[in-house]
Amino acid sequence: MRLPETQVAVLEAASATDAQTIDQLAEATGLKPETVTGAAFDLRDDGLVAVDEELETSASLTEEGEEYLDDGLPEVRLYRAAIDAGADAEPVEMGQLIGASGLGGPQVNIALSNFARKGYGVIDGGAVDANADADPDADEEAAALSAVADDEAGDVADDVLDQLESRGLVERSERTVRLVTLTDDGVTALMEGVEAAQTVDRLTPEMLTSGEWQDVEFTEYNVEADAPTAQGGKTHILRQTADRVKDTLVGMGFQEMEGPHADADFWINDCLFMPQDHPARTHWDRFALDVPPIQEIPADLVDRVESAHREGVGEDGDGYHSPWSEDFARAIALRGHTTSLSMRYLSGYAQGDLEPPQRYFSVEKVYRNDTLDPTHLLEFFQIEGWVMGEDLSVRDLMGTFEEFYRQFGITDIQFKPHYNPYTEPSFELFGRHPETGELIEIGNSGMFRPEVLEPLGIECDVMAWGLALERLLMLMYGFEDIRDVHGTLCDLELLRETEVLH
């Protein structure tokens, strides 16, 4: 019989003794374990060997286990110190024994909790009364520690190993061991003689030019052999969705805004007609930064914003009549929304004066001092956007959202009237979670108020929004806990297996 070289080697090695493990065969043949496994399975398919699988438990000492192997178990050390001090005749003070045994720190408690359990004696009122008949040389757990160290855990009783494992001295692990045994057909084949088929495992340029390739036999690939799973790198699903959102908005005629993550409260809040005593502006909600205040803000804009806060805008306008401090406005914090970018652009500060119509967006990170839960993170991505134009209405706003979400397969957006200090009217957006069926909030929007637009020098309408990228992802993929998707607790398996939508 002719067989590939590796199979001949494995078959011959397997005939040496009964039932050999893959590792033993690898050692005997000098082949790699995975090569032996592949050959063994091929031989099994031809009926020449049997491959049996067994679950093997192996045990190893933890660092603490190693320490007790060298120094002795704490309870044994305590017992020996007690016997030396005559505690088998008359109880001896605990403190004295601890000194004599050299036990320190947590080992004292470990010694005490195992001492009585093992019948080394009793501890009563701080004194140790040792049992004269106990034999520390026969300590099962001490013997088991050495057995584990010598790789002979198989000889140790299960309950003793369980005890050592629960004491954190031993760690157990399981692996599948494959045992290869010759079948009767295998024995016959060997008796009749097997020879290695001369196979070639690599096609070379020389073989091609000489034409030798036509006469040789090529090694077969075993496409079913066990192989490690290779995980390729890929773009994170959130980043991929952010890019897709950007493409979509560019396709809808928007231009991208950019600007600082840490910004002056002036751009984050004051321009938005957010009163300086608004709860969102307190230190609970805001990530303040200990850096010098911002210098460069157009002075006339500061004046107009202050005046809007104090007196309002227009003929019958009314301000907040609450304190307004320029220092407060110049202080720096992490932005809690990207509407700060919209303010920079709408003021002309970022881009120069803008003539309507204009459309701008950003897909950028924002920071909020929220409590972490399945739908809230301290950092998340906001899809910010605004449209500047003559005679815009709520219908334009709704139509824009419907058009935007439709491109992500989401067609049942719902709107709920809402309040923002900077928009009137304002709407929250909701979408239905595909798994739980619940309505979840996905964004906030509105038409900027005159108190926002007038100080910026804008005479037409501006509609604007902030949508949560993570919530869009939840609607698209049915994720239920956003912490599975990003951050330190993310579920790598889920991220690997989720089929990315394009």
Q: Is 375 in the site for ligand PHE (CB under 6 A)?
A: no
Two structure tokens written together for 136: 């520390």
- State whether residue 61 is helix, strand or coil: strand
Residue in 381, 337, 371, 377 with CA at minimum distance from that of residue 490:
377
Structural contact between residues 278 and 422, judged by C-beta atoms closer than 8 angstroms: no
Q: Checking DSSP bridges between strand 199-200 and strand 217-218, what pairing results, if any? A: parallel
- Give the number of other CB atoms < 10 A from CB of residue 82: 27
CB 312 to ligand PHE: min, Å:
20
Q: Is 358 in the site for ligand PHE (CB under 6 A)?
A: no
CB 423 to ligand PHE: min, Å:
5
Nearer to ligand PHE, 107 or 339 (CB): 339
CB 477 to ligand PHE: min, Å:
22
Nearer to ligand PHE, 448 or 477 (CB): 448
**Prior bond of 455 cis (ω within 30°):** no
Q: Is 269 in the site for ligand PHE (CB under 6 A)?
A: no
The binder of ligand PHE chosen from 114, 446, 473, 477 (CB under 6 A): 446
Q: Is 423 in the site for ligand PHE (CB under 6 A)?
A: yes
Nearer to ligand PHE, 50 or 354 (CB): 354
CB 106 to ligand PHE: min, Å:
50
CB 498 to ligand PHE: min, Å:
27
Count of residues touching ligand PHE (by CB under 6 A): 10
Q: What mask, x for binding ligand PHE by CB under 6 A, covers residues 383 to 422?
A: -------------------------------------x--
Q: Is 35 in the site for ligand PHE (CB under 6 A)?
A: no
What is the spatial distance between Cα 340 and Cα 408, in angstroms, rounded to a whole number?
26
Identity (one letter) of the amino acid at 60?
Answer: S
- State whether residue 163 is helix, strand or coil: helix
- State whether residue 472 is helix, strand or coil: helix
Stretch near ligand PHE under the rule CB under 6 A, chosen from 104-112, 143-151, 275-283, 462-470 = 462-470
Residues within window 311-350 making contact with ligand PHE, judged by CB under 6 A: 337, 339
Nearer to ligand PHE, 171 or 441 (CB): 441
What is the spatial distance between Cα 374 and Cα 484, in angstroms, rounded to a whole number?
9
Structural contact between residues 10 and 29, judged by C-beta atoms closer than 8 angstroms: yes
Q: Checking DSSP bridges between strand 332-334 and strand 439-448, what pairing results, if any? A: unpaired
Query: What percent of the residues of the chain are helix, what percent strand, and what percent coil, each to the nearest 5?
Result: 40, 25, 35
458 is in an annotated binding site: no
DSSP annotation of 430 reads: E
Instruction: Using alpha carbons, list the distances in angstroms from residue 144 to 118, 149, 152.
Output: 15, 8, 9
What is the spatial distance between Cα 400 and Cα 387, in angstroms, rounded to a whole number?
10
Q: Is 367 in the site for ligand PHE (CB under 6 A)?
A: no
Stretch near ligand PHE under the rule CB under 6 A, chosen from 199-207, 317-325, 391-399, 440-448 = 440-448
Nearer to ligand PHE, 136 or 260 (CB): 260
Cβ-closest position to ligand PHE: 466
Stretch near ligand PHE under the rule CB under 6 A, chosen from 119-127, 230-238, 438-446, 471-479 = 438-446
Q: Is 464 in the site for ligand PHE (CB under 6 A)?
A: yes
The binder of ligand PHE chosen from 466, 475, 477, 482 (CB under 6 A): 466
- Give the number of other CB atoms < 10 A from CB of residue 111: 24
Q: How many alpha carbons fall within 13 Å on the CB side of residue 136?
A: 20
CB 446 to ligand PHE: min, Å:
4
What is the spatial distance between Cα 201 and Cα 286, in angstroms, rounded to a whole number?
65
379 is in an annotated binding site: no
- State whether residue 176 is helix, strand or coil: strand
Q: Is 29 in the site for ligand PHE (CB under 6 A)?
A: no
> Residue positions in the annotated binding site for Mg(2+)?
424
Contacts to ligand PHE by CB under 6 A: 337, 339, 420, 423, 444-446, 464-466
> Residue positions in the annotated binding site?
339, 382-384, 422, 424, 448
